[in-house]
Chain A
Amino acid sequence: MLDRIEFLIGESFSALRRNTWMTFAAVTTVCMAIFILGGLGLAFFSFRNVVVGLGQRAEMKVLLLDTLPDRDASLLQGQILAIPGVKSATFVPRSEGLKQLLKENPDIDVEGLQIDNPLPNAYVVRVTELKDFDIVADQVGRIKGVEPRGVKYPADEKNFLMDTVKVLQWLGMALGAIMLATSGILIYNSIRMSVVARRREIRIMQLVGATRFMVWAPMLLEGIVQGAIGGALATLILWGAHNVVQEAVIKGLSALGRPGVFPFSLAFTVLVGAGALYGFVCSLIAVREPLQVKRSLAT
């Protein structure tokens, strides 16, 4: 058994050596494809985490009607919390609201204006996810006692963040798909070249009665090795890129929060596995057609 494995591995590596430049092209393209997919995927999930974090920190202010008695106002909390997507709802009485306003804007001279507290009673509502803001705002706005158009939240900022997540998602998928298709074609071509380069060996194998597995396996292994090397290189590049981005974020964009640690072991396992699987599929497609025994030769 070991003897057979050794023979197959030896055959596949001799083919890799024979097609050095085609192998190089295939490996680098697989690497770029996985890097783009993995990199944009990582960026997407990191940014999504940031957005989710922002969503949990972002607040929605719900202003209540002046005519609503304070006692009734405090009873609205249950109704607001019952709305799906609401994480918390804190009642802010008008007196407390004024205190906060003065704290945030110490220049305002309320006593000088000689007017009563102009602020209504309000609720500060937090949602579980940023994308829920619109739905929650709509439903809160319908509650009796809430001032018409009295639900205030940073809609533009929220829309910008959501659009950015979508762009990242689609960009990653589109670029990744293009690169995957390109790398697939390159693996396919390199295996086809391997079939041509090894046509003497393949013919002899077929003449002496080697099984289809013995004939195909070296080329399938070749595709797997190409994909796996591409995946491994992509992980290393991704790791380097993550460190560079991390430095930049720590220096300039700390407001967004500290980026997470790069999951090297997980990324390495997943990307090498994905590359190997992709290489296997591409080489299987490349090998199937020219090497299958054609019953239809004589029609």
Chain B
Amino acid sequence: MRQQNTSAGAPYIAFANVEVAYSDFVQGLRGVTLNIDKGEFVFLCGRTGSGKSTVLKCLSREVWHTSGSVCLEGRELTHLPVKDVAHLRRQMGIVPQDFGLLPNKRVWENLGYAMRACGRTRREVRKLVPDILERVNMLQRADAFPRELSGGEQQRVAIGRALINNPPLLLADEPTGNLDPQHSVEVIELLQQLNLRGTTVVVATHDMPIVEKFGHRVVLLDEGRIVTNTLDHPDGQPSLDGEILSSKYQPQTNGQDALGLFGPIPAGGSSDA
């Protein structure tokens, strides 16, 4: 496992008492304080509506927090002008749960389109797209349409698209939400490889078997609050095997929800806040 940089200096991502109110009655986050260092791999876990996606959206400025402060690389995002949001998003790769691929474009065109939208030339597209597809192990399927790909492959393309700006930070919102266990492992392994190369990875998920399998740092949210942060464990061991989670939640043995965090999973899947 990659060693996280917890040495002195400002954390890479810093949430300080962040609150997000979607309306008078719907609270996204309630006083979240969270630090993530450069090069870390963090799982944000929690039930649907617990606020894990809101944390990611606060970082990508899809949501403006109501109070508190959000800093990225020491830069306060609270008063970030709207015109600077595009520049901010080029410093991060965003992987949505639904892949967000254009169905009428081939794999390489999906990446090329995103690059052209960011102002890259056709020559740059021709040069960079094969490299990126190679990194996500999709070069051999470059000419395929999204409908011809498996869920795992589509997610790889989405991850590849998130890498077009070579970002130091990758935000993945439920990247395994639509995948079977085997493809889920493949996708997280891919994210882990990127992490090993220095990319900070923050993954929002409720896929607990995956979280357990990879054993990275886990931040558990519930109703907009952080209830558990494995970095806070006295031993500093980012593990789910300790007493932290098991004391709060009764483990179950039904596969997807091994820790029993979420109760019965409703039919048709779920979406997050």
Interface of A with B (CB < 8 Å)?
Answer: 3-4, 7, 200-201, 203-212, 214-215, 292-293, 295-299
Contacts and interface: CB of A to CB of B under 8 A. Distances in A.
B137 interface: no
Contacts of B21: 298-299
Contacts of B249: none
Nearest to B60: A207
Q: Which of B65, B88, B121, B122 has the most CB of A within 10 A?
A: B121
Given A209-B87, A211-B86, A298-B63, A204 B113 contact: yes
Contact of A208 (B61, B89, B121): B89
B182 interface: no
Given A7-B117, A207-B94, A296-B64, 15 more contacts: A204-B100, A204-B102, A204-B114, A207-B89, A208-B94, A208-B118, A208-B162, A210-B119, A214-B117, A214-B119, A215-B117, A293-B82, A298-B21, A299-B22, A299-B23
- A interface: dominant SS: helix
Contacts of B113: 201, 204
Contacts of A215: 117
Interface in B57-98: 61-66, 82-83, 85-91, 94, 96
Nearest to B22: A298
B28 interface: yes
B191 interface: no
A204 B21 CA distance: 26
B100 A200 contact: yes
Given A293-B82, A299-B22, A210 B100 contact: no
A208 B114 contact: yes
A206 B89 contact: yes
Contacts of B61: 293
B228 interface: no
Given A3-B122, A205-B117, A212 B28 contact: no
Contacts of A292: 82
Contact of A209 (B62, B63, B118): B118
Contacts of B83: 212
B63 A297 contact: yes
B57 to A, nearest CB: 9
The 5 closest A-B pairs by CB, nearest first: A209-B89, A209-B90, A210-B117, A205-B117, A3-B121
B20 interface: yes
B64 A295 contact: yes
A205 B63 CA distance: 17
Contacts of B117: 7, 201, 204-205, 208, 210, 214-215
B17 interface: no
A298 B20 contact: yes
Nearest to B93: A208
B96 A208 contact: no
Nearest to B83: A212
B82 A295 contact: yes
Contacts of A207: 89, 94, 96, 100, 114, 162
A209 B22 contact: no
Nearest to A210: B117
Q: Which of B23, B91, B114, B116 has the most CB of A within 10 A?
A: B116
B90 A208 contact: yes
Contacts of B28: 298
Nearest to A295: B64
B102 A200 contact: yes
9 contacts: A4-B119, A7-B117, A203-B100, A205-B114, A207-B100, A208-B94, A295-B64, A298-B22, A299-B22
Interface in B125-179: 161-162, 164-165
Contacts of A210: 86, 117-119
A214 B90 CA distance: 14
A3 B121 CA distance: 6
Contacts of A298: 20-22, 28, 63-66
A200 B82 CA distance: 21
B86 A212 contact: yes
